[in-house]
Amino acid sequence: MAASGKLSTWRLPPLPTIREIIKLLRLQAAKQLSQNFLLDLRLTDKIVRKAGNLTNAYVYEVGPGPGGITRSILNADVAELLVVEKDTRFIPGLQMLSDAAPGKLRIVHGDVLTFKVEKAFSESLKRPWEDDPPDVHIIGNLPFSVSTPLIIKWLENISCRDGPFVYGRTQMTLTFQKEVAERLAANTGSKQRSRLSVMAQYLCNVRHIFTIPGRAFVPKPEVDVGVVHFTPLIQPKIEQPFKLVEKVVQNVFQFRRKYCHRGLRMLFPEAQRLESTGRLLELADIDPTLRPCQLSISHFKSLCDVYRKMCDEDPQLFAYNFREELKQRKSKNEEKEEDDAEN
């Protein structure tokens, strides 16, 4: 949904700048939490505009920190903004914003990886999955350390239509390291094509909407930052359980410079590896000499559909993990060497 051209009818009163709040509260970015503050309100306003028209919307902001994006969201005339912040040092600054926006800002001290957002907003906001996205948005300048596990968690939520997606096809506008943002949006054949590309794009319309130079952040990270917008698809492009898709995709990309058959072989126990891999590729109609980055979403759909049938035929197959087999073989070899030494 495009941002509305009309001016917001509600604005925050004059407040200390983010830089002044950081100085006042003696805040410093914690390196171990990969924190980087975005102080330029023109950029935070741009992130919020790219999220769409937020007038009277309900917004869940993850990792608000000192509150730069928080201000821009509030100035977009939202109905309610819920922020979840793990670091207690930022709570006083956020409380200052809450006092300036009575009834609009709700602050939760918690961890975004475990917070139950499905219980955070009114049931009345829920929309059928087939309808337009609900008036619920997720926005956040994510710490680099949690960005990938968090988006994988949310993609699984989209697949199951739970978590933040109990309200419908909730849209997300999030920051990532530029390289991760490029991977999320990478097309088939691109050098940046990766596991993240496939996992995100089979479930969402993914757009890398703009890049923020690292110098805009304090402290300056070693990389630039990409802003990515996600809109869940009405119909996923692969209709198989998330864990099954994830297993197939992970195995293919673990040997990203090899032919795709190399990673697919690892889906099967050694005793049946060559035969089963050949069968999988033949039934899925996949050229075994394609590289992982050359496989389209439709290729992965065929692979997942055939692998699902093979798992249905052999209920133990899905639980197979080649690393466990390697570990067991190594353990047996060590036992054998000990026995030979004793004899």
Per-residue pLDDT of the chain (343 residues; tens, 9 = 90+): 444 444 456 777 667 676 666 666 566 655 444 457 788 889 999 999 999 999 999 999 998 988 899 999 999 999 999 999 988 888 988 998 999 999 999 999 999 889 999 999 999 999 999 999 999 999 998 888 889 999 999 999 999 999 999 999 999 999 999 999 999 999 999 999 999 999 999 999 999 999 999 888 877 778 899 999 999 999 999 999 999 999 999 999 999 999 999 999 999 999 999 999 999 999 999 999 999 999 999 999 999 999 999 999 999 999 999 888 887 777 665 555 555 555 5
Is 233:129 a contact under the CB 8 Å cutoff?
A: no
User: How many whole angstroms separate alpha carbon 149 and alpha carbon 236?
Assistant: 21
Q: Judge residue 305's burial from the number of C-beta atoms within 10 Å of its C-beta, 0-12 exposed, 13-18 middle, 19 or more buried.
A: middle
| Neighbour order of strands in the sheet with 58-62 | 105-109, 80-85, 58-62, 136-140, 171-177, 225-232, 204-212
- Using alpha carbons, select from 57, 49, 5 the residue that is nearest to residue 210: 49
- Using alpha carbons, select from 263, 254, 264, 256 the residue that is nearest to residue 306: 264
- 204, 272: one domain: no
DSSP characters over 190-244 = -TT--HHHHHHHTTEEEEEEEEE-GGGEESPPSS-EEEEEEEE-SS-SS-S-HHH
Helices 178-185 & 144-160 angle (0-180, nearest 10):
20
Residue 336 lies in a domain: no
Domain that holds residue 277: 242-328
- 93, 65: one domain: yes
Q: Judge residue 337's burial from the number of C-beta atoms within 10 Å of its C-beta, 0-12 exposed, 13-18 middle, 19 or more buried.
A: exposed
Return the CATH number at 159.
3.40.50.150
- 99, 228: one domain: yes
- 208, 251: one domain: no
Residue 292 lies in a domain: yes
The amino acid at residue 61 is E
Residue 133 lies in a domain: yes
How many domains does the chain fold into? 2
User: Which pLDDT does position 3 carry in this prediction?
Assistant: 47
- 272, 211: one domain: no
Residue 338 lies in a domain: no
**Radius of gyration of the chain, Cα coordinates, nearest whole angstrom:** 23
Return the CATH number at 262.
1.10.8.100
pTM for the model stands at 0.88
- 125, 168: one domain: yes
Is 142:111 a contact under the CB 8 Å cutoff?
A: no
Beta bridge partners of 232: 204
- 112, 146: one domain: yes
Residue 265 lies in a domain: yes
Domain stop point among 232, 267, 283: 232
Backbone φ and ψ of 83, nearest 5°: -115, 140
User: How many whole angstroms separate alpha carbon 322 and alpha carbon 320?
Assistant: 6
- 34, 167: one domain: yes
Is 244:308 a contact under the CB 8 Å cutoff?
A: yes
Residue 221 lies in a domain: yes
In the structure encoding, which two tokens stand for residue 131, read together? 């309808």
- 90, 38: one domain: yes
Residue 28 lies in a domain: yes
- 321, 263: one domain: yes
Domain stop point among 179, 212, 232: 232
- 188, 146: one domain: yes
Binding residues: 36, 38, 63, 85, 111, 141
User: Which pLDDT does position 10 carry in this prediction?
Assistant: 72
DSSP characters over 156-177 = HHHHHT-GGGGGSS-EEEEEEE
- 60, 194: one domain: yes
Binding residues for S-adenosyl-L-methionine: 36, 38, 63, 85, 111, 141
Residue 251 lies in a domain: yes
The amino acid at residue 181 is A
